[in-house]
């Protein structure tokens, strides 16, 4: 169960990339590919959009890809007063204003939560979603009766995390990431993204995401939904099914091996599932 709580700390043909610097959007974005269909990639907690590098390169011959790095995560400039709902709205506004027609949203960890929230609150905007190792309500794993607090105060978390010495924070993150990534070659990279992240954003979004409950909201999702889950979740399958019971389109699939970063730990299975879903009529 301890590892499940750590789950949230993860959280071709190329056209010229660009970084979106308009403060109206709570992220930086890189555009690549020239396909007629579009994929929008959302990384997880404290991660760079580079977490999708191999996935993006696999599909950008056939899709136009937008790869986000959320403000304040990795080396992206922080924004003011970051919130889960604000990020969700910012992504939706970007899709509308850039006139991106029916994108496929692929999100990992917190990014998977954002994918679900987008599909729930903007059901006509999205073609389909892929959720990579995320749950509608992480806190409900240990407390099934958890209720979201709309007045949650994250200031104590921000003060505590912001006050940690750099080396202590690095060691804490490296220990955490080693329990989320089985692929030893990737542990230092993922850890570096956490360390580069703005501490206030890190703490605020950790607190805010733990307070997020999408279990009821996902009943409004209309699009096809592929849910890729780490292998250990097979051991608590009834709890996973309970969380997703209101997402009628959910196709729950469990990896054969690995930890939270499925795209690194069980690549063959991951790409088989993803390609099948993307090519499905």
- The yes-or-no verdict on residue 164 having pLDDT over 90 is yes
Give 263's pLDDT tier (boundaries 50, 70, 90). Answer: very high
- The yes-or-no verdict on residue 18 having pLDDT over 50 is no
- The yes-or-no verdict on residue 190 having pLDDT over 50 is yes
Rounded Cα gap, residues 1 and 128, in angstroms: 31
pLDDT, one tens digit per residue, over 143-159 is 989 999 999 999 999 99
Region of poorest pLDDT, from 14-23, 151-160, 171-180: 14-23
pLDDT, one tens digit per residue, over 53-67 is 999 999 999 999 999
3-state SS, one letter per residue, for the chain:
CHHHHHHHHCCCCCCCCCCCCCCCCCEEEEEECCCCEEEEEECCCCCCHHHHHHHHHHHCCCEEEEEEEECCCCCCCCCCCCCHHHHHHHHHHHHHHCCCCCCEEEEECHHHHHHHHHHHHCCCCCCEEEEECCCCCHHHHCCCCCCCCCCCCCHHHHHHHHCCCHHHHHHHHHHHHCCCCCCHHHHHHHHHHHHHCCHHHHHHHHHHHHCCCCCCHHHHCCCCEEEEECHHHHHHHHHHHHHCCCCCCEEEEECCCCCCCHHHHCHHHHHHHHHHHHHCC
- The yes-or-no verdict on residue 196 having pLDDT over 70 is yes
The pTM of this model reads: 0.93
What pLDDT is recorded for position 149? 95
**Domains of the chain (ranges plus CATH)?**
2-279 (3.40.50.1820)
CB 254 within 8 A of CB 233: yes
- The yes-or-no verdict on residue 20 having pLDDT over 90 is no
What pLDDT is recorded for position 17? 36
What pLDDT is recorded for position 3? 44
pLDDT, one tens digit per residue, over 105-130 is 999 999 999 999 999 999 999 999 99
What pLDDT is recorded for position 23? 58
């Amino acid at each position: 169960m301890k590892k499940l709580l750590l789950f949230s700390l993860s959280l071709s043909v190329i056209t010229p990339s660009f970084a979106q610097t308009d403060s109206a959007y709570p992220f930086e974005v890189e555009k690549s590919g020239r396909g007629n269909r579009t994929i929008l990639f959302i990384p997880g907690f404290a991660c760079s959009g580079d977490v999708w590098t191999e996935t993006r390169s696999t599909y950008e011959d056939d899709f136009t890809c937008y790869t986000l790095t959320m403000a304040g995560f990795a080396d992206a400039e922080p924004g003011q007063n970051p919130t889960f709902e604000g990020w969700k709205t910012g992504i939706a506004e970007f899709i509308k204003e850039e006139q991106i027609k029916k994108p496929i949203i692929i999100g990992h960890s917190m990014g998977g939560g954002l994918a679900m929230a987008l599909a729930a609150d903007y059901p006509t905007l999205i073609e389909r979603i892929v959720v990579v190792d995320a749950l509608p309500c992480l806190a409900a794993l240990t407390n099934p009766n958890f209720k979201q607090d709309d007045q949650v105060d994250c200031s104590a978390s921000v003060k505590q995390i912001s006050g940690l010495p750099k080396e202590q924070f690095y060691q804490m993150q490296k220990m955490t990431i080693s329990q989320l990534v089985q692929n030893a070659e990737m542990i230092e990279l993922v850890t570096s993204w956490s360390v580069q992240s703005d501490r206030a954003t890190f703490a605020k979004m950790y607190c805010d995401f733990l307070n997020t409950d999408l279990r009821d909201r996902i009943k409004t999702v209309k699009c096809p939904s592929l849910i890729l889950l780490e292998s250990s979740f097979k051991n608590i399958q009834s709890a996973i099914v309970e969380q997703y019971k209101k997402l009628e389109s959910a196709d729950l699939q469990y990896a054969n091996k690995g930890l939270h970063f499925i795209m690194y730990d069980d690549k063959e299975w991951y790409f088989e599932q993803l390609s099948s879903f993307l090519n499905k009529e």
